[in-house]
Amino acid sequence: MMSFIAVCYNRAMLKFWYAFMTSMLLITPGCASTGDQADQHSSSTPQITFAQVKAAPKTFDGQSVTFGGKVLNAKRLKEGTRVEILQLPLTSSSQPTTDLSKSQGRFVAVQRDFLDPATIPPGTFVTVTGEMDGSVTLPLDETEYSHPLVRITNLRVWADNEEEASRARSYRGPGPYYGPYWSPYRRTWPYRW
C-alpha cells in the first residue's frame, strides 16, 4: 500500500514540475523583452487631446480621435447626420463625465450613414471615435463658433446614469422564490393551516 501512495505522489509531483517548468518557459520570453519595445507601442499611437484639436483642427486632418460629451442637437442633412456635442472628459471606460463645468468646448460629429436624430436627443451622453476633418463654423447665439469636425466611424450612446440609478433603487426584483404558501408575516414555510 505504501509503495502505491509513493508512486502516486511521485507522479503528481512530476506533473506539477512539468507544468511549472513549461509555464516558466512561456513566461521567460515576455520578461526578456526590452522596455524600448513597450515604449514604441505606447508612443506609436499617442492620444490626441481635445485641446490640441481645438487649437489647430486642420493639422490633425485624417487622424483618429476619440471624444465624448453631451449631445446639444442633431440634424439630418444631405451629406449625413450632423451632431453638435458639448465636449466632456472621458473616464477610463471611455464614458463622458457628467460635470459640464469640465467641458473645453464644442465639436461637431457627422455620420454619413443614416442616423435618426431621434435616437440621440439633446442631453444624451455619447462617445465618438472618428477621423478629424478640419472644422465647421456654426452660429452660437449671436456669434459664430468654429467647431472641430469629426467624421464618425463609431458612436456609442450611454444611458443616463441618474435614470439607471433611480430604476435600480426602485426595482427590488422578485427576490428568492418562496412558493405559493409562503407568508411574509409568518416565518414558517410552507404555510401551516
- What CATH class does 50-161 carry? mainly beta
Residue-range domain boundaries for the chain = 50-161
Query: Do the beta carbons of residue 85 and residue 128 sit within 8 Å?
Result: yes
Write down the pLDDT at residue 114: 87
Beta strand pairing call for 143-158 and 80-88 = unpaired
In sequence order, what are the beta bridge partners of 75? 82
Q: What is the pLDDT along the chain (193 residues), one digit of tens a residue?
A: 656 665 556 676 667 666 766 666 555 444 433 334 333 344 445 689 999 999 998 999 999 999 999 999 999 999 899 999 999 999 999 999 999 999 999 999 999 988 999 999 999 999 999 999 999 999 888 889 999 999 999 999 998 654 454 444 444 445 554 455 555 555 555 555 5
* Helix, coil or strand: residue 173: coil
Write down the pLDDT at residue 22: 65
pTM, full prediction: 0.61
Write down the pLDDT at residue 69: 96
Q: For the beta carbon of residue 89, count every other beta carbon within 10 angstroms.
A: 15
Q: For the beta carbon of residue 83, count every other beta carbon within 10 angstroms.
A: 25
